[in-house]
A and B are shown apart, each in its own frame.
Chain A
Amino acid sequence: MELENQIEHELRERAQQLLAENVVDLIIGYGRGTLPNRVTPVFIRKPQDANMLVWNNHCQLNLVSYLQRMQSSSKIGIVVKGCDARSLVGLIKEKQISRDRLHIIGIVCDGILDTRATGEPPIPYASCQHCEVNVPPLYDILIGSPDEIKPKKPSELDAELAAFEALSPAERWKALEQEFSRCIRCYACRNACPLCYCEECFVDQTQPKWISEGTHPSDIMIYHLVRALHSAGRCGECGACERACPMGIKLRLLTQKVSRDVAELFQDKPGIDLERPPALHTFSTDDDNSTFL
């Protein structure tokens, strides 16, 4: 049996068991989509429906985003990949969801295929090619074996980012302006992000009105800069924002930079350690002071 099918088979079995034994009231997982190579979130409450669950290399959604909408006190089982689990750890640390309410079904993930990339054979997303959390950092049950994972290049910068960094500051501004000029301000990136949970986002506030509606380049740029800064020290680098973008904007140009800076400055990798506070929620008296006159 192929590895993916093995995982899917075990996933269904365990899910059925969890529901039948009332360990959880609900399982959030992936189900077959209406188009080929597409999956859709499914919410399963009955043991006999566990067969709706699927697992394959198109399971790109970060299901953690759906937890925010689960207001009831039910116990939830959730299917997570490594990157999804990082955002889940973030939410638990920020007290957005209680660990006790969760039964985390971690899956060892070998990378998700980029649905937008053309050409054969299909290639994984850039974030997956450089993944270092194939095994979720937090889980109650783990499905799959880490030994089956193809080697990744976690420490390397992906080619697009490296090319961007090589530009001069003026060229970078120009390149970004061009990249972000396609933004239609639909906020899909914000909505897809499991860590963007403010009841009212700063872009929606009217008192004060921080930035205007519309697609003026400066408003677009401020939105994206502030979004990147709000994720500083929290972003689990799942890439959900970039995948959600209907215009295919390379959002990781900004988010990855912030993540790398946080790693370099504060030696922190968000979403790995449940005990460690997010980097910007804490401080050290020895922090770098060179920015200040």
Chain B
Amino acid sequence: MMQPGAEFEPRLIAFLCNWCSYAGADLAGISRFQYPPNIRVIRVPCSGRVDPLFILKSLQHGADGVLVSGCHPGDCHYLTGNYYARRKFIVLKRLLDYVGLEENRVQFSWVSAAEGEKFSRVVADAVEKIKALGPAKRLVKTFSLPPELIQAAHM
């Protein structure tokens, strides 16, 4: 729960491909590039493994934003996985914008294993954009608990 007056610190789920972006995040760490600690990383074998359902479910269950990152086109460990991903995500992105899930709530990037610095920039940029949007509200699954239960939880 946010304290009044405190700055909104979003939580982002980052789906990083094992071969490039995850290694890029590692390099960012080793090289001591600073980036905001708002991401929670989920390592996936390939950006092509990321099902739109993962992204929607993240948003439903409390993520304020989602970042998907994989190898640059042409550099996929599995040769073509990210090309398929690119087609899939552009359709997803357009659909999300169309239904009115705010632009930038879901972001995509290519970060190679050598781009530690780019990784830190991508994360800082993503976090900044989500901060500007504020907490996710549209797809979030909320439950209306009876007030006495909420009160009990705060005691």
Residues of A within 8 A of B (CB): 168-174, 176, 202, 210-211, 216, 218-219, 221-222, 225-226, 228-229, 232-233, 254, 257-258, 261-262, 265-266, 279-280, 283-285, 287-289, 291-293
Contact = CB atoms under 8 A, between A and B. Distances in A.
B56 A225 contact: yes
A219 B141 contact: yes
A189 B88 CA distance: 22
Contacts of A229: 52, 88, 91-92, 95
A261 B95 contact: yes
A251 to B, nearest CB: 13
A265 B91 contact: yes
B49 interface: no
Contacts of B141: 216, 218-219
Q: Which 8 A-B pairs have the closest CB atoms?
A: A173-B100, A293-B109, A283-B83, A169-B100, A172-B100, A218-B141, A292-B108, A222-B56
A232 B101 CA distance: 19
23 contacts: A169-B100, A169-B102, A170-B100, A172-B98, A172-B100, A173-B100, A173-B101, A174-B100, A218-B139, A218-B140, A222-B56, A222-B57, A254-B95, A254-B99, A257-B94, A261-B90, A265-B90, A283-B80, A283-B83, A285-B74, A291-B86, A293-B107, A293-B108
Nearest to B80: A283
Nearest to B56: A222
B16 to A, nearest CB: 13
B87 A280 contact: yes
Contacts of B37: none
Given A210-B57, A221-B139, A292-B86, A285 B73 contact: yes
B38 interface: no
Contacts of A285: 73-74, 83
Interface in B31-64: 52-53, 56-57, 60
Interface SS of chain A: helix, strand, loop or mixed? helix
Nearest to B89: A291
Interface residues of B, number: 38
Contacts of B109: 292-293
B33 to A, nearest CB: 16
Nearest to A210: B53
Interface of B: 52-53, 56-57, 60, 73-74, 80, 83-84, 86-103, 107-110, 122, 125, 138-141
Given A173-B138, A257-B94, 15 more contacts: A210-B57, A219-B141, A221-B139, A222-B56, A228-B95, A229-B91, A229-B92, A232-B88, A233-B91, A261-B94, A265-B90, A280-B84, A284-B83, A291-B90, A292-B110
Nearest to A177: B138
Given A287-B86, A288-B90, A292-B109, A176 B53 contact: no
A218 B60 contact: yes
Contacts of A284: 83
A257 B95 contact: yes
A278 B125 CA distance: 35
Contacts of A254: 95, 99
Contacts of B98: 172, 257
B9 to A, nearest CB: 21
A288 B107 CA distance: 15
Contacts of A221: 99, 139
B100 A226 contact: no
B60 A225 contact: no
B99 A289 contact: no
Contact of A283 (B84, B95, B96, B108): B84
A233 B84 CA distance: 13
Contacts of A222: 53, 56-57, 60, 139
